[in-house]
Amino acid sequence: MPVGSTATLISTHQLAPEELMKAAVVRDFRQPLVIEHRPVPTPGHGEIVVRIEASGLCHTDIHAAHGDWPIKPTLPFVPGHEGVGIVTRVGGGVTRVKEGDRVALPWLGYACGTCEFCVSGWETLCAKQVNTGYGMDGAYSEYAKAFAAYVGIVPAGLDPFDAAPLACAGVTTYKAVKASGARSSDLVAVFGVGGLGHLAVQYAKIAGATVVAVDLTEDKLAMAKQLGADYTVNAAREDPVQAIQKLGGADAAIALAVSPRAFEQAFASLRRKGTLVFVALPADNSVRIPIFETVLNGITIVGSIVGTRKDLDEVYELHARGRTHVIRETRPLETVNQSIQDVLDGTVTGRIVFDLRDTAVAEPLERQLTAAGA
Ligand SMILES: [Zn+2]
Ligand SMILES: [Zn+2]
């Protein structure tokens, strides 16, 4: 399918070109996103404006665009919570970052900073949190506004196209491996090795564990092997529960595939005293877990949602030291609808990252239309 064939470009005539930016907008749930010209935001107190360079496509963006979850975003909105770019403007009271700094706009766009969760290192559980690309406009856009206190600081020298997926896929799996309690003598099973899973495999290896990767496609399993997985199981061809139990059972299983069945298999693959970490959020919001086996086998089930700013710092530090590899594919923002379809079809091996560099807002509309293939 030609680039941009599923997206249309709408112009805003009232503003000068330098005041306009290109953004992919959700106007209706379950309708294709629309590429629009919108006004470049201005920062309020405590806020910054970021010129986005790279913006990752996370499965959560698809759930947001489809209105899959009980609490839905307010339409219209711009998705995207793996945005990385350069600070171009700072609002009053901002001291944490300055113009020219490279920052990441993660899922946790804002938290209150004073509740019991915020003050105890669990800001990701703050009830007053606002999520980037959900409760506030996100990073499928040339510019995005953010709360300075909650952006990630991208270390110098880090590739923005690596930093973008690490802002969600990275920090989420890093935290999930922490939540799994993985130790060097453990067998860790990673269910689903796409955008998240390929990073989970690496963090479990960094923790010293033996890793078994489970997926339905050979390409992804081959990638997992290259990234350090000790064992791979193709769940389309063999029963992952049997395969993992044959290895002695998993001390920890991390459920990253958006399929309740994979969660159930992950549970059944555990050994006694094992830990199951729920991470993926299937639209079909329930699993069947047997109570008897959970009690008698002393199983722990834990939910893990993204990670804190500190976790993200650690993720970037590991990457800066060359300990992790990000598998990603760069595409123009105009491919957004096809890209979403490709993720849904499971045909994308790593992470899709939209390239928002050098699409100057002052560029004539005709040229943009040509570039978009419209
Ligand atoms: Zn995400
Ligand atoms: Zn709070």
Residues 248-261 pLDDT 10s: 999 999 999 989 99
Q: Are strands 328-332 and 351-355 parallel, antiparallel or unpaired?
A: parallel
pLDDT in tens, 309-335: 999 999 999 999 999 999 999 999 999
The residues near 288 (Cβ < 8 Å, ≥ 6 apart) are: 260, 264
Same domain, 56 and 126: yes
pTM over 0.75: yes
Q: Which of 69-73, 81-85, 208-212, 218-222 has the lowest mean pLDDT?
A: 69-73
Distance 116 CA to ligand 1 centre (A): 24
291 falls within a domain: yes
Distance 169 CA to ligand 1 centre (A): 6
Same domain, 124 and 179: no
Same domain, 113 and 50: yes
pLDDT of 299 > 60? The answer is yes
Distance 167 CA to ligand 1 centre (A): 8
**pLDDT range class, residue 365, cuts 50, 70, 90:** very low
Distance 256 CA to ligand 2 centre (A): 26
Same domain, 286 and 346: no
For residue 64, give the ligand nearest its CA: 1
pLDDT in tens, 153-180: 999 999 999 999 999 999 999 999 999 9
**CA–CA distance, 80 with 139 (Å, rounded to integer):** 5
Cis peptide leading into 155, omega within 30 of 0?
no
For residue 149, give the ligand nearest its CA: 2
3 falls within a domain: no
Segment 193-211 mean pLDDT: 96
Distance 266 CA to ligand 2 centre (A): 32
Q: What is the mean pLDDT of the chain?
A: 92
pLDDT in tens, 4-51: 434 545 555 567 777 899 999 999 998 999 999 999 999 999 999 999
pLDDT in tens, 91-135: 999 999 999 999 999 999 999 999 999 999 999 999 999 999 999
What letter represents residue 354's amino acid? F
pLDDT of residue 368: 35
Domain harbouring 210, CATH code: 3.40.50.720
Q: What is the DSSP letter of 137?
A: -
E strands, the chain, are 9-10, 20-25, 34-39, 47-56, 83-90, 102-105, 108-110, 130-131, 143-147, 152-153, 187-191, 210-215, 231-234, 250-255, 270-278, 300-303, 328-332, 351-355
For residue 131, give the ligand nearest its CA: 1
Same domain, 80 and 178: no
pLDDT in tens, 341-363: 999 998 888 899 999 997 544 34
Full residue range of the structural domain in which residue 225 is found: 170-303
Segment 275-304 mean pLDDT: 95
Distance 354 CA to ligand 1 centre (A): 14
For residue 111, give the ligand nearest its CA: 2
For residue 61, give the ligand nearest its CA: 1
Same domain, 293 and 350: no
- The last residue of one of the domains, among 270, 303, 336, is 303
Distance 119 CA to ligand 2 centre (A): 7
Same domain, 366 and 250: no
For residue 126, give the ligand nearest its CA: 2
- The last residue of one of the domains, among 254, 271, 303, is 303
pLDDT of residue 264: 98
The total domain count for the chain is 2
For residue 138, give the ligand nearest its CA: 1
What burial class does residue 163 get, using C-beta atoms within 10 Å of its C-beta: 0-12 exposed, 13-18 middle, 19+ buried? buried
Percent of the chain residues past pLDDT 90, beyond the cut: 85
Domain harbouring 127, CATH code: 3.90.180.10
Same domain, 219 and 139: no
Same domain, 149 and 191: no
For residue 164, give the ligand nearest its CA: 1
The secondary structure element, H or E, covering residue 337 is: helix 336-345
140 falls within a domain: yes
pLDDT of 144 > 80? The answer is yes
Distance 12 CA to ligand 1 centre (A): 30
Same domain, 43 and 105: yes
Same domain, 177 and 148: no
148 falls within a domain: yes
Distance 279 CA to ligand 1 centre (A): 11
165 falls within a domain: no
317 falls within a domain: no
Same domain, 126 and 214: no
2 falls within a domain: no
